[in-house]
Structures are given as C-alpha cells and as structure tokens.
Structure 1
Amino acid sequence: MPEIKVLDSTLYHEDQGEGVPFVFLHGNPASSRIWRAVLPGVAAPGRRLLAPDLIGMGRSGRPDVPYRFDDHARYLDAWFDALGLDEVVLVGHDWGGALAFDWAARHPGRTRGVAFLETFVRPLDSAELGDGPRARAELIRSAEGETLVLDKNILLETAFTGGVLHPLSEEERRPYLEPYPTRESRRPLLQWARSQPIDGDPADVVERISAYGKWLATTDEVPKLLLTFDSSPTLLITEAMAAWCAGNIAGLQTEHCGPAGHHAPEDSPHAIATAIATWATRQGL
C-alpha cells in the first residue's frame, strides 16, 4: 500500500477503489488497521476508500515533533494536499474524529459529509466524567503516567482487551503493538492520552475543539452521522452526550449500532459499515 512523502516525513495509507474519497481517520492508540473489517462493507462503485496512519503511528514516519494536535493536523493537511483530495467524506473515530472535524472546519469547500463515533464533540468538564475515567485521566497526566505509558506500554496493553467487549487475542493485537517497540516510539500515544480536553486543559486542544464546534453547529448543508453504542463503561459518547449532539450539531443523523466498547470498530465493524454505507447512499455521497 502507498507510503508518500509529507513535509519532512512519510505517511502510510490504505487505498482502494476509485471515485469520491472516503477518508477514515483512526485514534489512539490505533492505526488504519482498526478499519480493516469496516472498509469492505462501505466499498461500492464510485467510492475511493483511504485510511492513513497518523504521523508517528502505525507504519507512518516518526519525525522529531511534539505530536500535539497541531502536528497531526499539519501532516494530515499535507497528505490531503499531496493526494489532491476534494469533495471528501470523512469518517473519524476517537482522535480521528476530532481531526476530521478540524479539517472540515478549515476546509469547508472540500467536505461533503462527516461520519463519526466515540470522539470529542466539545470540551469536557471533569464533573461529567465517571470516577474511573477521571482517575485515569489524572494518572496519565502525572509523572507516573509517563512510566505507565512509555515503559509499561499500558495503553496498547489494555486498549484492545479492556476497551472492547470482545478482547483481541495476542495474535490479533500484535499488529497494533509492533510499531511501538521502544519507549521513544510510544511518545505520540502518551501525548494523545494527555490531550483529552478536560476543564479547559490543554488550552491549544480546547481552542481547536471550540473552533470546529462552531462549524458543527452551523453547517446544515453538510450531512453528519453519529454512530452510538451501548453496554460498555468505556464509551465516550454516552446517551447524555448523544442527546447534546442532537441538539447542537447541524444536519445530524444518529444511528445506534448496538453493543460495543470505545474501540467500536473492533467490536461492531459490520454494523458500523452498514450504517455508513446506508447514510452515504441516502445522502447521495
């Protein structure tokens, strides 16, 4: 699959089909691999399906950058431009959803639609988090969090066992683990984990989310699809958050896809693919 030069590094991406570009953006600590069982169900004549590995993640390059939100956005911008992608349908999970919103808000004339799941639709207040998620966020931002993520590799060791309803086997998890054999290789994962927009911090991320929030609230002409799930304490989009989306995001359709954990493409890839494909066809995308 293609690996292309972007800025001072390279981005790897899956690429199949021809036509309207559907761009699938993954989150932390995943890679384009998380879409492997979703893509076949969205594939159709007239659609080009692309799924990049974010910079510093998966099979993409590892430049010497801090791996903050702005860094990921810059490299993604260069990737979109290098491929000449316009009239794009974006699909984002976790931080991939936030990056999709951010790109769409900054490139309104190039966005046809956005589908999203388990992502950040607005900044969070610690009071609305459960005790477990709040404690985990505080731990990750502490000095001990650096040891847990960089030395003990806790994010990758738990994401696909505890963040899903159906834990992946060691063999199934291996492709997710292999790109991060060293302490330094895991720094992008730590930075993402510390970037959750809670109580106004980190300020740069809250600013980006607030900016794309205005776009989400005012663009009736751009169809949007929220995929929701149930039965897991790890879900980011709860019933309350889904209700907030319904009242604050313009042009939104919500589709419930049944039981899944936060890393829902591993639990419910076929339901996700069917929902996206049906929505895209209905919207003429």
Structure 2
Amino acid sequence: MQMQDGNEKEALSAEFSFEKQRIKVLDGEMAYIDTGGSGSTTAVFLHGNPTSSYLWRNVIPHVAPQARCLAPDLIGMGDSSKLKGSDYRFFDHARYLEAFLDAVVTTGKILLVLHDWGSALGLDWACRHEERVAGLALMEFIAPVPTWNDFPQEGREIFQAFRHPLKGRELLIEHNVFIEQILQAGVSRTLSSVEMDHYRAPFLKVEDREPLYRFPNELPIAHEPADVYARAERYHDWLMANELPKLYFWASPGGLIPEEKAAWYVRTLRNTESVALGAGKHFVQEDNPHLIGQEIAKWVQARWKA
C-alpha cells in the first residue's frame, strides 16, 4: 500500500480550466471534457451524485500526459441536457452512458476511473463489454448492501428518510439537501464558496433536481429496488471474479466504504494495487486529488505505455 507524504501536499484549485464539448446522445445532449491525445487507451472518468466532471478538475491534469482523458456529465447533471418527464432511473443513465461511449470512444480500450454512481454505471457497462476494458480505477464505489444494518451508520437515518415518498422529495427537491448538506459532509476539508457554486449551478431550479432525488432512492440496499439490486449483484460478482488490472483507492474513515470494508477489498479484489489516501470521506477527489491523479498516471505509464 502507498501512503500520501504529508509534506508533498499540492494546492487544490477551485478553477475549472477545461472547455467542454457537447454531443447528441439519444434525445438529449451530453457535455464532456476531452483532453485529446493519441494512444490505444482512453481514460474515462465517471462521476456520481450530486457532482459532475468538475469533480475531476484536479485529477485529470496528472493523467492527461499519459492518455486521452474523457469526463462526461451524466444526463441531467452538470452541463448535460435536462430531460423533460424523466425519472432518471439507473437504467436511463445506463442507456445514455452506453450511447455516449459508442459515439465518443469508437476504437481502442477504455480505462474506467469510477466513483459513486459513476462506479455503478461504469461497472455495469464493463461487465457487459469486458473486451473493451483495459482496467478499473475504483474509489468509494457502489456495491449491493444486503441489509440496512450493513449501510454505514453515520448516514443510515438520513438515507432512510430519503426513501420516504413525501419526506424524501421535500428534503432532496425542495431543500436541496444533497447539495447543501450531504456533499460537504462527504469532504474532510471545507469546500469554498466557488466550489459550492459550481456544484449548485446545475440544480438552481427546483424542477431540475429530479436526479438528486432519484439516485439515493436507487441505491441497492436490502434488495430494493429489486431490479437495481440484481444489476448491482451482477456487476459486483463480475468485479470480484475478473482478472483485469485494478487500482483501488481508499480513505480514512471513508464514506460508503468504511476502512474495515476497504481492507476486505484490498485483500480480496484480484490483480489489484491499492493506494491509501489518508484522511478522506466519500468525495475523495476533493481531499486528495493530486495523489489520485499521480497514482493513476504512474499506473497507466507502467502498464500501458512501458
């Protein structure tokens, strides 16, 4: 395991220095970062809830010299289209992501860099397209949770409240709790006003917050929702069995994946290198982006550019 040297901390930038492109995807448009570059491997960075490609702003600059880097905004999030009448279910996101990858990465292998719901969508895609996958970089990823007692205690009560048909919508739609409370709670440092405004921007209108409601209600917990849980079991079984190269980042105390569960993944995942990020909760890219980017860059250099 590799630990971060506390004397080598780099400044964290709130600035978003990338120019986004847009592409027609099904009946909407998806915005994305594309650093360009040559080579047979493309690194695709997938965010989750309630973030966007902005989450990767301090990570991608480390990796871009080694590989073409793509970072889409999931449909309904970031600068991607808002869909009228959509429930933004996991399966809707999966269709848009598949169409996006078909359109933008037409050849070569894909290195998936995955976090939160980006991990669920990326692993679901990967287990159905293993021949296209070069490797998997994972952090705070979504796995099926057999019972609510297996869900981290710190977030259990509020995430159960999100499932209430009335209270959940009040919290997530009317009060925008995922942006205003959950996001900061998942970061060890205090996010600046500039950073918070970047994350708020796609959801200033109440009518645009449906994805923020749907994602917590899609988490595969206690076998519900049954269709999402089944899909998560499938990709998780595949993840634990395959021999693809993996780079697994974990933090202390962690968020979705507490330290003791992270230790189990370190022991159990096959063909895996692990990196201990030090202090971090769920949104580890906001606490330790440079270490994440540096380690991915070294991994790409060693495995695909040697």
TM-score bracket relative to the smaller structure: over 0.9
Alignment of 1:170-249 (within 5 A): 170-220=193-243, 222-231=244-253, 235-249=255-269
Instruction: Report SS of the residue matched to 2:77.
Output: coil
Instruction: Report SS of the residue matched to 2:141.
Output: coil
The offset of 1:138, in angstroms, is 0.9
Instruction: Report SS of the residue matched to 1:65.
Output: coil
**Structure 1: gaps of 5 or more residues:** none
Does residue 266 in structure 1 map to residue 266 in structure 2?
Answer: no
TM value normalised by structure 2: 0.87
8 A contact 1:27–1:94 mirrored in 2:
yes
The offset of 1:167, in angstroms, is 1.4
Q: Distance in 2 between matches of 1:114 and 1:90?
A: 5
Does residue 15 in structure 1 map to residue 34 in structure 2?
Answer: yes
Q: Distance in 2 between matches of 1:160 and 1:137?
A: 13
The offset of 1:215, in angstroms, is 1.6
The offset of 1:65, in angstroms, is 2.1
The offset of 1:248, in angstroms, is 4.0
Letter of the structure 1 residue corresponding to residue 217 of structure 2:
R
The offset of 1:218, in angstroms, is 2.3
The offset of 1:124, in angstroms, is 4.0
The offset of 1:284, in angstroms, is 2.3
Q: Distance in 2 between matches of 1:104 and 1:129?
A: 25
Does residue 123 in structure 1 map to residue 145 in structure 2?
Answer: yes
TM value normalised by structure 1: 0.94
CA offsets, 1:70-93, max 9 Å, x none? Answer: 111100000011111530000011
Does residue 65 in structure 1 map to residue 64 in structure 2?
Answer: no
Does residue 148 in structure 1 map to residue 179 in structure 2?
Answer: no
The offset of 1:275, in angstroms, is 1.8
Residue 128 of structure 2 is matched in structure 1 by: 106
**Deviation larger for 125-134 or 168-177:** 125-134
Instruction: Report SS of the residue matched to 1:57.
Output: coil
Residue 14 of structure 2 is matched in structure 1 by: none
Instruction: Report SS of the residue matched to 1:5.
Output: strand
CA offsets, 1:91-126, max 9 Å, x none? Answer: 011111111111110111110001010111333421
Does residue 256 in structure 1 map to residue 276 in structure 2?
Answer: yes
Number of aligned residues: 281
Residue 154 of structure 2 is matched in structure 1 by: 132
Letter of the structure 2 residue corresponding to residue 14 of structure 1:
I
Residue 79 of structure 1 is matched in structure 2 by: 100
Q: Distance in 1 between matches of 2:253 and 2:236?
A: 28
CA offsets, 1:112-163, max 9 Å, x none? Answer: 0010101113334211234332111111111212101101111111234221
The offset of 1:43, in angstroms, is 1.8
Instruction: Report SS of the residue matched to 2:65.
Output: coil
- Call closer, same or farther: CA 1:193–1:21 in 2, change over 3 Å: same
User: Runs (4+) of structure 1 moved beyond 6 Å?
Assistant: none
**Structure 2: gaps of 5 or more residues:** 1-19
The offset of 1:229, in angstroms, is 0.6
